[in-house]
Every structure is written in structure tokens, then in C-alpha cells.
Amino acid sequence: MVLIEKFRLDDYDSVRSLWKGAGLDFSPGDELPQLKRKLRRDPELFLVAREKGSVVGAVLGAWDGRRGWVYHLAVSKSARRRGVATKLLQELEARMGAKGVLKVNAIVYDWNVASLALFELNGFKRQDGQVVVGKYLAPKPES
């Protein structure tokens, strides 16, 4: 049975390995010191999926006071195709709704067809005409 719980600091190594295994790109904000800062802001939006005590999924949610954001949704290969990602996403949406979030966005790599399909199956729509732009204010960590 998969349980959805709040991220704990001792989950960091497992979550980072999970994210790397999913091919996610790391930024300075994904390092432990920055995630600790994020946890002071809205810890209830950083979730992990556990099965038999092991982390098998994770999602990093954030709220900027205007929009909710979904980052780094990933599930281990052994737990895929069993609804774990949907469970994580639905729990995150419920928690955001309880905070008063009216709209949630997700940034998905265009090469990640499975992830795009998952979000679309969960009611997310592509935002035509939009391009995500970014700029690092600190050196990008080695992946």
C-alpha cells in the first residue's frame, strides 16, 4: 500500500536519487539548503509516496500567493503504472485547494511524453503560446 506523506529532511537522498533516475534537471533550488528554506514556507506541499517504508514517488509543490506550481513529480520505475503519480498530484491539489489556490501550473519537459499525458489525464491543459524562461542567479550544481 502506498502512503502519501509530507517530505522529511531524511528523505532528501532518496528523493534526489528518484529525481535523477527520472532524468530531471537540477538547479540551485534543488539543493538541500534551499529546500530547507522552502520547507519553512509551505512544508505541506512537498510530498513523498512511501511503500513499505521506502520513497517511491515525490512531488514538490509551491504556492507563490497567486498560483500553485507543481515541480519534479517523479515515481520510481518499480512503482509506475500503479496510480502513484496521480495520487501524489491529487493530494497536492487538495492541499493547495485548502490554502485557497485557484489555479495550478506545472512545468513539464517537452520530451517527457508520459508526464504530459499524466497531467492531461488529470485535467491540465497546455498553455499555447507560452514559453518558460529562466535564469540562474547562482552557479548551477553538477548533476
Considering the domain boundaries, does residue 100 fall inside one?
A: yes
Considering the domain boundaries, does residue 111 fall inside one?
A: yes
Range of the domain at 19: 2-121
* Spatial contact of 15 and 60, defined as CB atoms under 8 Å apart: no
82 three-class SS:
coil
Identify the CATH number of the domain in which residue 76 sits. 3.40.630.30
- From residue 88, alpha-carbon distances to 9, 31, 109, 127, 133 in Å are 18, 22, 19, 22, 26
Considering the domain boundaries, does residue 10 fall inside one?
A: yes
Considering the domain boundaries, does residue 132 fall inside one?
A: no
pLDDT by 10s per residue, the chain, length 143:
999 999 999 999 999 999 999 888 778 888 899 999 999 999 999 999 999 999 999 999 999 999 999 999 999 888 888 999 999 999 999 999 999 999 999 988 888 899 999 999 999 998 888 777 777 776 766 65
Considering the domain boundaries, does residue 135 fall inside one?
A: no
Considering the domain boundaries, does residue 116 fall inside one?
A: yes
Provide the whole-model pTM: 0.89
Report how many domains make up the chain: 1
